[in-house]
A and B are shown apart, each in its own frame.
Chain A
Amino acid sequence: MKAIIVDDEEPARNLVREFLSAHRNIEIIAECANGFEAVKAVTEQYPDIMFLDIQMPKLNGFEVLELLDELPAVIFVTAFDQYALKAFEVHAADYLLKPFTQERFTEALNHALKQFEHNKHYSVKNLLADVKPESEIRERILIKEGSKVLVIPVEKIDYIEAQDDYVSLRVEGKSHLKQQRLSLLEEQLPKHMFVRIHRSYILNIERIAKIELLAKDSRAALLKNGTTLPISRTGYEKLKEML
């Protein structure tokens, strides 16, 4: 069994390490001090169990999970009990409240082992699918490229294009792929900044240079960087409402 420990406080990591030492069958393959390291470690080393703090700099525990394709069994370790409900929504094996005893730790570990046995052949992506359609407005979009995590503030996005199962975000002259449906992303973006101008495009309205009439009922948006994007009839209606 392989485990990783994710916590930004060293003493907290030490405690988990110490409590784990009583369980010979579990090997600690990584200790991570933040979410970025955690995503990298999980992607590269495929642990079976993850001890995950929630409140961490830049990338919190929930965001780490969102970025992972394959989830290990997760035990949240946190001083914040207001996240307990959300933890169960993301199918956490257990939820340890700091400070905790060795007994409580072992209990949580057993829950995780049980969940691990259960889910061995079950696609974790499906589990997450129940959770993902949360449509809370985001201030930033998280993208995983390999084992690296990019954090993109939404205002830096020029436009987003749908590409099969992916969306391609155009940011500062570069494209970034993210596995998500365009309609879901549309719900998560701030309404005052982004408009779905076409079946395949969401546009940051601040990037518009002008709107060109190509033919009757056929328009295109010319962006400040020179790109031209098609605008559908309903897209134009929405755009007109906003501008």
Chain B
Amino acid sequence: MHPILSERKRIFIYLSVWIGLGILFSFVLKTLSAIPAAYAAVIALPMFVVLSQLNLSAWFLAKVFPPDKSELWKLFSALAVSTLLISGIWGMLCWGWVTLLERYFSVQLFSEKTAVQFGIVVLISAQLYLLSVGLSYFFMTFETSRTAERNALELQLLAQNAELKALRMQINPHFLFNSLNSINALISRNPEKAREMTTLLADFFRKSLQFGAKEMITLGEEVSLLNNYLAIETIRFGSRLTIEQNIEPPALAVRVPPLILQPLLENAVKHGIADSLSGGTIRISAEQKNEQVFVVIENPVDDDGMKKKGIGLGLENVRRRLQTVFHDTADLQTYREGSTFRTLVYFPMNNIFAEQ
């Protein structure tokens, strides 16, 4: 659709401009050719309305030959041909219109119709056409850059959302498979326990989905998810996994991104329990101090001179999520103290999501 024809307001403005040009031309005609004002207007105004319609084609030329993608010689030949065509047609129409008027009113408007006069008419329309093409290009470029800007913005938003979603759903599939295997094993030996584990697993995934769909949850909700996770891992690892918790109730109200602590706890279980022969104790604590909530997760590490692989990525994801949500008011830090690995996360107590 032609951008001018797509809106009534634009058509009105466009026609007004051309009629204005037509009035201007009438004055020129009256002054130069000594024609009465009324006749000049009758000649010029209809012809400028016609020219306005012919000039609409300028936009199509600009569209077919976009400036950045067309070869220059093609663009210029198309421009030359269309300018000649439009101004030629208009010149002929003017000639015909004047002749018709002279016949109808039986007057002689021009003492003689010379080639020079015809040439001037053609030249004027050619200029106006070139101007139209120029303006079409100008608006097209303007429109393109605005669309590009909007697209870039939308893309950025989309990427951010996708990233958040991906980061939220980083629950380890092996956790699911190993848990299902434990259930498989428990079914005949200890059906009660199998039932318990099934419910725990269902609860865990239900909460993950439910919380994961939200922008923010309370620390209390996150902790309930963590407990669910730990209950499952306790069945899997048996006596190798011991848990100590010290969570102060006031801290539970702070709003945090969903599943922000779960990957940290999973890390702690993997490195502190699954990679260790004898297992150990995972400690979780949370406290409120000066408008901030501090969460600490501790796990034992074996000091056997072996490097642990895969610590980095999970932590980095959590750090980036914190950065996205809280900028510099929240952070994650890790410490190694002897045979204890400590992960500290702090959140602002009254964050922008607090009132939600």
List residues of A (7-21) whose CB comes within 8 Å of B's CBs: 8-12, 14-15, 18
Residues on B with C-beta less than 8 A from A58 are 275-277, 302, 304, 306
Taking a contact as CB atoms under 8 Å apart, the answer to whether B277 and A79 are in contact is no
Taking a contact as CB atoms under 8 Å apart, the answer to whether A11 and B275 are in contact is no
Taking a contact as CB atoms under 8 Å apart, the answer to whether A139 and B277 are in contact is no
Tell which of B177, B184, B238, B276 touches A15, judged by Cβ atoms closer than 8 Å: B184
Interface membership of B8, Cβ < 8 A: no
Interface membership of B180, Cβ < 8 A: yes
User: What separation, in Å, do the CA atoms of A140 and B304 have in the docked complex?
Assistant: 11
A37 nearest CB across to chain B (Å): 9
Residues on B with C-beta less than 8 A from A140 are 306
Stretch among A61-69, A111-119, A149-157 lining the B interface: A149-157
User: What separation, in Å, do the CA atoms of A80 and B175 have in the docked complex?
Assistant: 10
Stretch among B34-42, B55-63, B74-82, B185-193 lining the A interface: B185-193
Interface membership of A210, Cβ < 8 A: no
Please judge, given known A-B contacts A12-B182, A15-B181, whether A153 and B235 are in contact too, CB under 8 Å.
no
A150 nearest CB across to chain B (Å): 11
Interface membership of A239, Cβ < 8 A: no
Taking a contact as CB atoms under 8 Å apart, the answer to whether A18 and B189 are in contact is yes
User: What separation, in Å, do the CA atoms of A80 and B302 have in the docked complex?
Assistant: 24
Interface membership of A99, Cβ < 8 A: yes
Interface membership of B214, Cβ < 8 A: no
Please judge, given known A-B contacts A79-B178, A99-B177, A155-B305, whether A9 and B275 are in contact too, CB under 8 Å.
no
User: What separation, in Å, do the CA atoms of A58 and B302 have in the docked complex?
Assistant: 10
Please judge, given known A-B contacts A10-B238, A57-B275, A99-B180, whether A18 and B186 are in contact too, CB under 8 Å.
no
Please judge, given known A-B contacts A57-B275, A99-B184, whether A9 and B304 are in contact too, CB under 8 Å.
no
Residues on A with C-beta less than 8 A from B177 are 79, 97-99
Interface membership of A34, Cβ < 8 A: yes
Which residue of chain B is the closest to A34 with respect to CB atoms?
B277
Interface membership of B110, Cβ < 8 A: no
Taking a contact as CB atoms under 8 Å apart, the answer to whether B189 and A9 are in contact is no
B37 nearest CB across to chain A (Å): 90
User: What separation, in Å, do the CA atoms of A96 and B323 have in the docked complex?
Assistant: 42
Interface membership of B236, Cβ < 8 A: yes
User: What separation, in Å, do the CA atoms of A9 and B178 have in the docked complex?
Assistant: 9
User: What separation, in Å, do the CA atoms of A80 and B31 have in the docked complex?
Assistant: 93
Interface membership of B174, Cβ < 8 A: yes
User: What separation, in Å, do the CA atoms of A48 and B204 have in the docked complex?
Assistant: 40
User: What separation, in Å, do the CA atoms of A151 and B238 have in the docked complex?
Assistant: 26
Taking a contact as CB atoms under 8 Å apart, the answer to whether A14 and B277 are in contact is no
Taking a contact as CB atoms under 8 Å apart, the answer to whether B277 and A156 are in contact is no
Interface membership of B183, Cβ < 8 A: yes
Taking a contact as CB atoms under 8 Å apart, the answer to whether A57 and B276 are in contact is yes
A192 nearest CB across to chain B (Å): 15
Interface membership of B9, Cβ < 8 A: no
B116 nearest CB across to chain A (Å): 87
User: What separation, in Å, do the CA atoms of A8 and B279 have in the docked complex?
Assistant: 11
Taking a contact as CB atoms under 8 Å apart, the answer to whether B235 and A11 are in contact is yes
Please judge, given known A-B contacts A9-B236, A57-B275, A151-B304, whether A18 and B181 are in contact too, CB under 8 Å.
no
User: What separation, in Å, do the CA atoms of A151 and B178 have in the docked complex?
Assistant: 27
Residues on A with C-beta less than 8 A from B183 are 99
List residues of A (55-101) whose CB comes within 8 Å of B's CBs: 55, 57-58, 79-80, 97-100
Taking a contact as CB atoms under 8 Å apart, the answer to whether B182 and A9 are in contact is yes
Residues on A with C-beta less than 8 A from B276 are 57-58
Taking a contact as CB atoms under 8 Å apart, the answer to whether B277 and A11 are in contact is no
Residues on B with C-beta less than 8 A from A151 are 304, 306
Interface membership of B327, Cβ < 8 A: no
Tell which of B180, B186, B275, B307 touches A98, judged by Cβ atoms closer than 8 Å: B180
Which residue of chain A is the closest to B238 with respect to CB atoms?
A10
Please judge, given known A-B contacts A10-B238, A151-B306, whether A57 and B274 are in contact too, CB under 8 Å.
yes
B8 nearest CB across to chain A (Å): 63
Which residue of chain B is the closest to A15 with respect to CB atoms?
B185
Please judge, given known A-B contacts A11-B186, A12-B181, A34-B277, whether A153 and B174 are in contact too, CB under 8 Å.
no
List residues of A (148-184) whose CB comes within 8 Å of B's CBs: 151, 153, 155-156
Residues on B with C-beta less than 8 A from A57 are 274-277
Please judge, given known A-B contacts A80-B174, A97-B177, A139-B307, whether A9 and B188 are in contact too, CB under 8 Å.
no
User: What separation, in Å, do the CA atoms of A80 and B235 have in the docked complex?
Assistant: 20
User: What separation, in Å, do the CA atoms of A10 and B186 have in the docked complex?
Assistant: 10
Can you name 28 A-B residue pairings with CB atoms under 8 Å? A8-B274, A9-B178, A9-B181, A9-B236, A9-B238, A11-B181, A11-B182, A11-B235, A11-B236, A12-B178, A15-B181, A15-B184, A15-B185, A18-B189, A34-B277, A55-B274, A57-B275, A58-B277, A58-B304, A79-B177, A99-B180, A99-B183, A100-B181, A139-B307, A140-B306, A151-B304, A153-B305, A156-B305
Interface residues of B (CB under 8 A from A): 174, 177-178, 180-186, 188-189, 235-238, 274-277, 302, 304-307
10 tightest CB-CB pairs across the interface, nearest first? A15-B185, A98-B181, A79-B177, A153-B305, A11-B185, A11-B182, A99-B184, A99-B181, A99-B180, A79-B174
Besides the known contacts A15-B181, A97-B177, A139-B306, 16 further A-B residue pairs in the complex with CB atoms under 8 A apart: A9-B237, A10-B238, A11-B186, A11-B236, A12-B185, A18-B188, A33-B277, A57-B275, A58-B304, A79-B174, A79-B177, A98-B180, A99-B181, A140-B306, A151-B304, A153-B306
